[in-house]
Chain A
């Protein structure tokens, strides 16, 4: 437990966002009303997901430059953790959309189209890993695919919605900036720490999953994973 401090920071920041997220001041906006507070909980999930997918891509690159299986293992763990953040992100987004945009899935919203495409890309990644039995082959093919997957995800989620003429999501549709979220400064003081907290939490989950998988490998093969 010597590297415990960042895990503690993560818990404190998220706890702070829960407390200040409900007690803090928010702008009074039509349609959104009090649901604007969902921003503190829905958006950081997506940031954590994107960061984990980036970590996954980084370790895939590292694997391809050294062919060490432990890097491939970390890459796959990060992709699974990222997926586990995308799932509640999708569900919370759908609940929020039902009450503000009128339906759970607005199919012509470019951000949602992008997210759907990114999800399919990563589904293929998980499928690829599940289907190839040989470890080295699996590692090489999925590492190459993972780099493609991350690049496409970045394009689908960050670039494509901004090229589209309009989007229901704030900050999209031609004019990307944080200023376009309907936030004032008191909201930013809660939102940014919440993002940091959830990103650190995603690293904690990655840390646990990765150590568990390494231990599993060690017990099955009676040697350390190199």
Chain B
């Protein structure tokens, strides 16, 4: 009882508050990690432009093949 009297009730309540809320603040910090720095640095635009160029080149090649085939079809039309 003597120990209890040495403590201020408010202090105990405050300590209890810290103990109970600490885990929940930890949980708030542990959001799933994403590539935020990578994005903030603007490097994502490099990736997007490279992939766009690759895809556009392939699409253009497909168009060329399509036209070549069309030409050949016209040649062999009776």
Given A15-B56, A211-B73, A215-B76: A23 and B44 interface contact (C-beta under 8 Å): yes
B12 at interface (Cβ–Cβ under 8 A)?
Answer: no
State the 7 A-B residue pairs at the shortest beta-carbon distance, nearest first: A28-B32, A11-B59, A30-B32, A22-B48, A18-B51, A34-B35, A211-B69
A186 at interface (Cβ–Cβ under 8 A)?
Answer: no
**With a CB–CB cut-off of 8 A, which chain A residues contact B59?**
11, 14-15
Q: Chain A residue with minimal CB distance to B33?
A: A33
Which of A19, A215, A218 is within 8 Å of B48, CB to CB? A19
**With a CB–CB cut-off of 8 A, which chain B residues contact A11?**
55-56, 59
Cβ contact within 8 Å between B32 and A15: no
Q: Chain B residue with minimal CB distance to A14?
A: B55
The total number of A-B Cβ pairs within 8 Å is 55
Cβ contact within 8 Å between B48 and A208: no
Count of B interface residues, CB-CB < 8 Å: 24
The 30 sampled A-B contact pairs (Cβ below 8 Å) are A1-B66, A1-B70, A7-B63, A11-B55, A11-B56, A15-B52, A15-B55, A15-B56, A15-B59, A18-B52, A18-B55, A19-B48, A22-B44, A22-B47, A23-B45, A28-B31, A28-B34, A30-B32, A31-B32, A33-B32, A33-B34, A34-B34, A34-B35, A204-B62, A208-B66, A211-B73, A212-B69, A215-B72, A215-B73, A218-B76
**A interface secondary structure, majority:** helix
A29 at interface (Cβ–Cβ under 8 A)?
Answer: yes
Complex formed: what's the CA distance from A215 to B59 in Å? 22
**With a CB–CB cut-off of 8 A, which chain B residues contact A14?**
55, 59
Complex formed: what's the CA distance from A14 to B62 in Å? 14
Complex formed: what's the CA distance from A110 to B62 in Å? 36
A131 at interface (Cβ–Cβ under 8 A)?
Answer: no
**With a CB–CB cut-off of 8 A, which chain A residues contact B31?**
28
1/0 contact string of B17-56 vs chain A (CB within 8 Å) = 0000000000000011111000000001101100110011
**B interface secondary structure, majority:** helix
Closest-CB distance, B54 to chain A (whole angstroms): 9
Closest-CB distance, B61 to chain A (whole angstroms): 11
Q: Which residues of A contact B (CB under 8 A)?
A: 1, 7, 11, 14-15, 18-19, 22-23, 28-34, 204, 208, 211-212, 215, 218-219
**With a CB–CB cut-off of 8 A, which chain B residues contact A18?**
48, 51-52, 55
B15 at interface (Cβ–Cβ under 8 A)?
Answer: no
Cβ contact within 8 Å between A19 and B52: yes
Complex formed: what's the CA distance from A208 to B54 in Å? 21
Complex formed: what's the CA distance from A14 to B63 in Å? 15
Cβ contact within 8 Å between A1 and B67: yes
**With a CB–CB cut-off of 8 A, which chain B residues contact A22?**
44, 47-48, 51
**With a CB–CB cut-off of 8 A, which chain A residues contact B55?**
11, 14-15, 18
Cβ contact within 8 Å between B62 and A208: yes
Closest-CB distance, A52 to chain B (whole angstroms): 16
